[in-house]
Amino acid sequence: MPTGTRSGRRALRLLRSDPLPPLPDAKTLLEAESRRRPGELHEALLLSSEAAEYIAELAGKASLTLDVAASLVLEAGLLSLRVPQPLELSDPSDPPQIALPEASAHYLRSLTVGRRSSSLASNQTSRTVAVPVRLVPQLGAVDVEQLIDRVPLEQAIAWEVAAIRAGQTMSEWVLERLLLQR
């Protein structure tokens, strides 16, 4: 708050505030409910009942949370509007191209080996899903319902796994592949 002036400028003073809540511990971040790309902000997106049921079915079959499945198929659907040809994927058994932080490594495991050992309920039904904020402007410009069928979830997962292994988002990875294939 301004408290006075010095040489025509206002001086500011620090205000004490309540302490911030503690950050979640590693165990909380690594739980099944936290299985999403670390470090991203999310925003709620309302889907039609049919789209929500379809994504919930995909999520259940793939042992993913509803939010992760929705985020993957929607981002891949957006990218499919720009991708004229199939993209080459590296061998999934190859090690990551960069050293992954623990949270990213856990997310990678949740999309690969973790899916086979997961017991997520397939009855996740909510019309509201949390999608990365970085996708929201693009999703506002298209018919979201049309995106969910453009790329199979397994292909979207493969793109996401390749992106994580390269230290990128799916969008960054796909667009880099397009540039490299030219």
123-161 confidence digits (pLDDT tens)? 566 888 999 999 999 998 898 888 898 889 999 999 999
DSSP the chain: -EEEEETTEEEE-----PPPPPPPPHHHHTSGGG-S-TT--EEEEE--HHHHHHHHHHHHHHT--HHHHHHHHHHHHHHHTT--SPPP---TTSPPSSPPPHHHHHHHHHHTHHHHH----S----SEEEEEGGGHHHHTTS-HHHHTTTS-HHHHHHHHHHHHHTTS-HHHHHHHHHHHH-
6 lies in some domain: no
Per-residue confidence (pLDDT) for residue 1, from 0 to 100: 45
Q: Return the higher-pLDDT residue of 97 and 91.
A: 97
pLDDT of 118 above 70: no
Q: Residue 102 is part of which domain span? A: 39-83+92-181
Number of structural domains in the chain: 1
Per-residue confidence (pLDDT) for residue 32, from 0 to 100: 47
28-78 confidence digits (pLDDT tens)? 545 544 467 887 888 899 999 999 999 999 998 998 889 999 999 999 999
153 lies in some domain: yes
66 lies in some domain: yes
31 lies in some domain: no
Listed range (17-26, 32-41, 82-91, 155-164) with the worst mean pLDDT: 17-26
15 lies in some domain: no
Q: Which pTM value belongs to this model?
A: 0.75
2 lies in some domain: no
4 lies in some domain: no
